[in-house]
């Protein structure tokens, strides 16, 4: 049973890892310049680091492209919740989402990045 579980987890990690990619897309979307950051109400967001943290902690339920899956779509979450509210949901969970799927700096980065998704 443990081998089967490990195989599933490893396979999931491979699939999720393949969903990342394409680091230069942000440069075009942000108009060149400092391609890896976006501004939000609290300062700048390191988009690449936030996306990586999201892929590792959240994408298995919310989809690698924020389109949803087992959890709701997050592609326009910034229009519904503030950065602080998103951070609170990550920290404490909501509905069927368990608490602390991401913690510390990762939770802060993910919340800041998701707040820019409108």
Domains of the chain: which residue ranges?
46-118
Which of 43-47, 62-66, 93-97, 107-111 is the least confident region?
Answer: 43-47
Q: How far is it, in rounded angstroms, from Cα 87 to Cα 19?
A: 24
pTM above 0.85, yes or no: no
SS (H, E, C) the chain: CHHHHHHHHHHHHHHHHHHCCCCCHHHHHCCCCCCCEEEECCEEEEHHHHHHHHHHHCHHHHCCCCCCCCCCCCCCHHHCCCHHHHHHHHHHCECCECCCCCCHHHHHHHHHHHHCCC
Mean pLDDT of 15-44: 49
Share of the chain above pLDDT 90, in %: 62
Quote the pLDDT of residue 38: 58
Note the Cα 75 to chain centre separation in Å. Answer: 10
Q: Please check the confidence at residue 101 and state whether its pLDDT lies above 90.
A: yes
Alpha-carbon distances of 6 from 57, 70, 85, rounded to whole Å: 17, 21, 34
Q: How many residues does the chain have?
A: 118
Query: Tens of pLDDT along 31-65?
Result: 444 446 555 555 678 999 999 999 999 999 999 99
Is 1.10.760.10 the CATH number for 46-118?
A: yes
Comparison of pLDDT for 11 and 93, the residue scoring more: 93
């Amino acid at each position: 049973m443990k081998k089967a579980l490990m195989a599933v987890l490893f396979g999931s990690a491979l699939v999720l890892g393949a969903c990342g990619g394409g680091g230069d897309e942000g440069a075009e979307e942000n108009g060149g310049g400092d391609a890896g950051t976006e501004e939000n109400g609290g300062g700048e967001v390191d988009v690449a680091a936030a996306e990586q943290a999201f892929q590792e902690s959240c994408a298995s339920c919310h989809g690698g492209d924020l389109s949803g899956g087992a959890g709701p779509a997050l592609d326009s979450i910034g229009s519904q919740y503030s950065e602080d509210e998103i951070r609170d949901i990550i920290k404490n969970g909501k509905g069927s989402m368990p608490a602390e799927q991401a913690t510390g700096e990762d939770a802060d980065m993910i919340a800041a990045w998701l707040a820019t998704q409108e």
